[in-house]
């Protein structure tokens, strides 16, 4: 059976004996094994990154950017291979995998602007013969811990920008679908990245704790569940590390009575059921303002849910593939059971879906609940599956209060033709990313991604301008060259321009 090994100092490195199975979610079969690092293996990667840092930090930003330009070309050339690897281990459709990769490539494109984004500020003559400027300097060895649901895109949120800023990076990807992540990292080595600047180490909690505890690691980026995000933020910051930890979500879409319902339904279908709902920006709650729009939504969306084309992700022309693991499938089914038990109206039930020829795959069909209330677990919890809940309220203000009261504040959207309602929503909603007639308001690469409340631990969002700030530290320099013939007496008052 194929072993997915670590990438340390530019070379594939075997593990120390521990490993985990990697499954094909469409068949339920273990197809590979992935090495799981112990602390000694992680230390090899840390030592490699530390040794590479002095030379890399002094490499001109333009030369770092040239590596990223070549990397972008290789990613585009190998799109089909990468998409297939993602689909085989995650389960998402080939088209969805290709879309994920393209969004990742956009972040590589942003990193190609290194000479521009790393420019500091300069002021001449802030005082007599005194000039001042700021310098954006790399932190050193930094690390990223990434989730299973975007094995290409989320790592590409992190290490291209960190590396182009002059840091050396250690990536701990999900052990559930590691092959595409490793393959992409090897393409960056092929693009000319020096050994040690990027290391990929697979593992579980032991590997994560090794990164948290290592004094050489100066910053940690994480995307995953809220409990783990909170753990990494707490443990990392108390050791003096810079941490950005993105956690869970419960994303609401508000449908106003004047919404363009046909377009809203199409948007909800993709946002709720795309990637089998395994997205931190998936819409899992439709908040309908009034029974009329709720009834109309149910009437229009039910036939489309029942018509979803579901099968093995590697097949073409599908809407949805399987969930990533058997445990994930069973968890989603458990939530559906709980929704029924707690009194929600189950309009479309996806629990009994069987895909011919893939009877052992981890499939759950599109599911719809109506008349969901805020105390139900299908409302409070992040299900991370193809389940959409309809909540009925009487006003926009009630819809906004519902969203603002939730512990998560990752993404939300409103469907309306009313500019006043949209502006009020954007101004007053307590959520980090907001869409107006846009169901998945994921910022483009030259903005930054991040939620509010318990969806984000840390002050800086991911990628874009905040990513540059996270992976650099600013140094302010004030310099004076006195004129040769001048001499000034000592000044004991605090210096000023007054």
> Which residues are tagged catalytic?
280
Asked whether 376 and 231 are in contact (CB, 8 A), the reply is: no
Asked whether 273 and 319 are in contact (CB, 8 A), the reply is: yes
CA gyration radius, the chain = 25
Residue 214, SS3 per DSSP: coil
Indicate the DSSP class of residue 274.
G
d(CA 70, CA 189): 10
Instruction: Provide the token pair at 263.
Output: 């377009």
d(CA 287, CA 293): 10
Within 8 A by CB and 6+ apart from 322, the residues are 25, 26, 91, 276, 312, 313, 329, 355, 358, 361, 362, 363, 364
Instruction: Provide the token pair at 444.
Output: 């483009």
What is the separation of C-alpha 315 from the centre of its chain, rounded to a whole number of angstroms?
Answer: 26
Q: What would the 3-class secondary structure string for 238-259 be?
A: CCCCEEEEECCCCEEEEECCCC
Residue 331, SS3 per DSSP: helix
Residue found by looking up tokens 């783990």 in the block? 228
CA proximity to 307, closest of 323, 294, 293, 318: 318
Q: State which H helix or E strand residue 167 sits in.
A: none
């Amino acid at each position: 059976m194929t072993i997915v090994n670590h990438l340390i100092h530019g070379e594939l490195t075997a593990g120390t004996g521990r490993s985990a199975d990697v499954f094909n979610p469409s068949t339920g079969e273990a197809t590979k094994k992935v090495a799981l690092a112990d602390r000694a293996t992680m230390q090899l990667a840390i030592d490699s990154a530390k040794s590479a840092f002095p030379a890399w930090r002094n490499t001109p930003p333009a030369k770092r950017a040239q590596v990223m330009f070549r990397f972008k070309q290789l990613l585009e050339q190998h799109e089909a291979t990468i998409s297939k690897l993602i689909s085989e281990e995650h389960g998402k459709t080939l088209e969805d995998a290709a879309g994920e990769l393209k969004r990742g490539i956009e972040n590589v494109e942003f990193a190609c602007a290194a000479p521009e984004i790393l420019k500091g500020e300069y002021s001449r003559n802030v005082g007599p013969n005194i000039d001042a400027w700021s310098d954006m300097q790399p932190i050193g060895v930094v690390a990223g811990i990434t989730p299973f649901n975007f094995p290409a895109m989320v790592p590409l949120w992190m290490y291209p920008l960190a590396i182009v800023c002059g840091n050396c990076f250690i990536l701990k990807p999900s052990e559930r679908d590691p092959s595409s992540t490793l393959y992409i990292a090897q393409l960056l080595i092929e693009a000319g990245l020096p050994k040690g600047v990027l290391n990929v180490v697979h593992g579980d909690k032991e590997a994560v704790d090794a990164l948290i505890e290592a004094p050489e690691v100066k910053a940690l980026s994480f995307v995953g569940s809220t409990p783990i995000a909170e753990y990494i933020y707490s443990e990392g910051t108390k050791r003096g590390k810079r941490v950005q930890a993105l956690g869970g979500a419960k994303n609401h879409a508000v449908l106003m009575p004047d919404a363009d319902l046909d377009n809203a339904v199409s948007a909800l279908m993709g946002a709720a059921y795309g990637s089998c709902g395994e997205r931190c920006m998936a819409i899992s709650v439709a908040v309908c303002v009034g029974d009329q729009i709720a009834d109309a939504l149910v009437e229009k969306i039910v036939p489309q849910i029942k018509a979803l084309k579901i099968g093995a992700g590697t097949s073409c022309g599908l809407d949805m593939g399987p969930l990533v693991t058997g445990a994930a499938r069973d968890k989603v089914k458990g939530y559906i059971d709980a929704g029924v038990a707690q009194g929600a109206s189950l309009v479309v039930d996806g629990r009994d879906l069987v895909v011919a020829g893939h009877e052992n795959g981890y499939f759950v069909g599109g599911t719809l609940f109506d008349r969901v209330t805020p105390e139900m677990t299908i409302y409070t919890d992040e299900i991370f599956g193809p389940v959409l809940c309809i909540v009925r309220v009487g006003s926009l203000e009630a819809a906004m209060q519902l969203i603002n009261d939730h512990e998560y504040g990752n993404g939300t959207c409103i469907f309306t033709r009313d500019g006043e309602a949209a502006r009020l929503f954007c101004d007053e909603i307590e959520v980090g990313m907001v869409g107006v007639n846009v169901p998945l308001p994921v910022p483009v690469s030259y903005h930054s991604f991040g939620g509010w409340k318990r969806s984000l631990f840390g002050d800086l969002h991911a990628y874009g301008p905040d990513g540059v700030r996270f992976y650099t530290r600013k140094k302010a320099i004030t310099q004076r060259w006195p004129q040769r013939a001048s001499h000034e007496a000592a000044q004991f008052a605090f210096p000023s321009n007054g």
